[in-house]
Structure 1
Amino acid sequence: MLQVWLITGSSRGLGRALTEGVLEAGYRVVATARDPEQLRELKTKYGDSVRTAALDVTSETQAKAAVEAAIAGFGQLDVLVNNAGYGNVAPVEDTPMEEFRAQIETNLFGVILMTKAVLPYFRERGAGHIFQVSSIGGRIGPVGRAPYAAAKFGVEGFSESLAREVGPLGVKVTILEPGGFRTDFAGASTELRPGRPEYDATVGASVRFQQGYNGKQPGDPAKAAEVILQVAGMEDPPLRLLLGSDAFQGAERSALAKLEEDRRWKQLSESTDFAD
């Protein structure tokens, strides 16, 4: 039986590449975006294999409706990909709280809402696969992206707990951690604000790097789609999967540095135990 996928944030970037990759593989997709007009080309090209839906992942009502539409339209749902998200660059000090809340609402609570919407169906079936599109920023706090990192670190913890809860029920969870991919995530989708002069050497440097890096990222979105399709077919998929050589190298350096620091302060850490 052909798989049915529900993909959030299908209009551009990695979500668009994955949507097209899944459709090219012969599967069926419910493609979603805040503005479904941006998905019209998919419908024209792939016909009845794709259904489009308006979806703001911060809306619990729309989240439930998207899941119900997939099941009603195609008779089943096998894979949920929580891809929708964005991240601006600015110093913490210069980021208004409403912007913090907005980024966390989309990048973290949107994932939670969509996951909760699909869980009853997957639990009753005893099957299903949830892909959470996190980021290398879910392991390493990048300079200038504190709201994004806060959300993605949250996605990682939420999804690890989730996997332990639903794994025994037959539901799979995979956290995807992309590095730099040649999408508009670092371009039109991102607002870059270097902030006040005191942050020029940190956030300002990140902004300049991002401006020069856009269009030169090592990651190929089409190849990422191929890998995700491969993982979706695995009986025992990874809980976490880094995407891109830059993501792997960055995660490896960070993990080794954290382990070294933990070991350095091990005696002080253990000194907090009761003497007995």
Structure 2
Amino acid sequence: MSRTWLITGSANGLGRTIAEAVLRHGDRLVATARNPQQLSALKEQYGDQVAITALDVTDAAAADAAVQFAVDTFGRLDVLVNNAGYGNVAPFEQTTPEAFKAQIDTNFYGVVNLARAVMPVMRGQRSGHIINISSVGGRIGTPGLSAYQSAKWAVGGFTEVLAMEAAAFGVKVIAVEPGGMRTNWGQVARGSVPAIMPDYEPSVGAITNLLKAYVGKEFGDPGKVAQVILDLASRTDLPPHLLLGSDALHMYKQTEAVRSKAAADWETVSTSTDFEGSDFSVFANRMEG
């Protein structure tokens, strides 16, 4: 049966690749972008199979309107892909409050706004998939990406909670966490780097040099990622998080090894704050139950 999708940030990058894969698959699509004229080629090629609407994901009212547009146009909404997002590289100290907030608003609150808008629809249907495009940056910390990764960490936590809450009525929620992909993300991220203060050259400067060598040579194939997204939308056995890419898996494993060692090294301090005689098994049994 043909499904109806809504994809944020459909104009370029991964969002455009997913949009094209959905349409080739024969499903129906509401494609969104801040500038819907960028989506005209999709309309010309796929006709009534695709509907286009303007959407600024940071605007909660616009998110509500986009979801209502999808339901009014196609009668239902089966898959939401929260893809819109961007990152800028800069030391935190050199990131203006306005620039920091703008990244949080797009990368995190954009996800929240669309999820809030779509949840009553999917709950009423007793079915649906919410696929949040996050990043391995939602599992690790990288100098120069304080705003972007703060948002992606928030997306990961939000996804886990929403997945547990929505499971009772058949709605599946997952955060997809790719590593580097050959999209325009790296070019955008590098394009706003300020003149880095000398004290941040060993940390943020090293990342900008890495990006300079890495952009255009990323491991992730957006077309293959899009095929994974298509597959996820037909599954009911989704994990709350899914890493994509050898680089993402490698960075995650390295980071988790460091965290696990730190937890073991500091275990005595961690447990030293308990009241004497506390019985942890009571809490553990309740959590497992």
* TM-score, L = length of structure 1: 0.98
CA distance in 1, matches of 2:92, 2:64: 33
Q: C-alpha displacement at 1:95, in angstroms?
A: 0.5
Listed one character per residue, the Cα deviations across residues 28-61 of structure 1 (whole Å, up to 9, x for unaligned) are 1101000001111111111111111100001111
Q: 1:248 matched to which residue of 2?
A: 249
Report if the CA contact (8 A) 1:91-1:194 is conserved: no
CA distance in 1, matches of 2:49, 2:195: 44
**Which is higher, the Rg of structure 1 or of structure 2?**
2
Q: Equivalent residue of 1:218, what SS?
A: coil
What pairs up with 1:118-137 in 2 under 5 angstroms?
A: 118-137=118-137
CA distance in 1, matches of 2:229, 2:22: 9
Q: 2:209 matched to which residue of 1?
A: 208
- Percent identity of equivalent pairs: 49
Q: 1:31 matched to which residue of 2?
A: 31
CA distance in 1, matches of 2:257, 2:204: 25
Q: C-alpha displacement at 1:238, in angstroms?
A: 2.1
CA distance in 2, matches of 1:242, 1:74: 32
Q: 1:90 matched to which residue of 2?
A: 90
Matched AA of 1:7: I
CA distance in 1, matches of 2:188, 2:263: 39
Does residue 228 (structure 1) correspond to residue 255 (structure 2)? The answer is: no
Q: C-alpha displacement at 1:205, in angstroms?
A: 1.3
Matched AA of 2:237: D
CA distance in 1, matches of 2:195, 2:64: 38
Q: Equivalent residue of 2:92, what SS?
A: coil
Q: 2:285 matched to which residue of 1?
A: none
Listed one character per residue, the Cα deviations across residues 74-123 of structure 1 (whole Å, up to 9, x for unaligned) are 11110000000000000011111111111101111111010000001111
Q: 1:261 matched to which residue of 2?
A: 262
Q: C-alpha displacement at 1:142, in angstroms?
A: 1.2
**For the aligned residues, what is the CA RMSD?**
1.0
Report if the CA contact (8 A) 2:89-2:189 is conserved: no
Runs of 4+ in 1 over 4 A off after TM superposition: none
Report if the CA contact (8 A) 1:89-1:194 is conserved: no
Report if the CA contact (8 A) 1:194-1:203 is conserved: no
Does residue 107 (structure 1) correspond to residue 132 (structure 2)? The answer is: no
Q: Extract unaligned runs of 5+ from structure 2.
A: 278-289
Matched AA of 1:66: A
Report if the CA contact (8 A) 2:136-2:179 is conserved: yes
Q: Equivalent residue of 1:131, what SS?
A: strand
Q: C-alpha displacement at 1:188, in angstroms?
A: 3.6
Q: Extract unaligned runs of 5+ from structure 1.
A: none
CA distance in 1, matches of 2:236, 2:162: 18
Matched AA of 1:262: A
Name the count of aligned residue pairs.
Answer: 276
CA distance in 1, matches of 2:64, 2:21: 25
Q: 1:196 matched to which residue of 2?
A: 197
Q: 1:81 matched to which residue of 2?
A: 81
Listed one character per residue, the Cα deviations across residues 189-244 of structure 1 (whole Å, up to 9, x for unaligned) are 65223521111111111112112211000100000000111111112122211111
CA distance in 2, matches of 1:154, 1:36: 28
Report if the CA contact (8 A) 1:18-1:222 is conserved: yes
Q: Equivalent residue of 2:94, what SS?
A: coil
Q: C-alpha displacement at 1:2, in angstroms?
A: 0.6
CA distance in 2, matches of 1:140, 1:95: 20
Q: 2:7 matched to which residue of 1?
A: 7
Q: Which moved more, 1:179-188 or 1:234-243?
A: 234-243
Report if the CA contact (8 A) 2:139-2:153 is conserved: yes
Report if the CA contact (8 A) 1:85-1:107 is conserved: yes
Report if the CA contact (8 A) 1:122-1:171 is conserved: yes
Q: Which moved more, 1:183-192 or 1:31-40?
A: 183-192
What pairs up with 1:15-54 in 2 under 5 angstroms?
A: 15-54=15-54
Matched AA of 2:211: Q
Matched AA of 1:253: Q
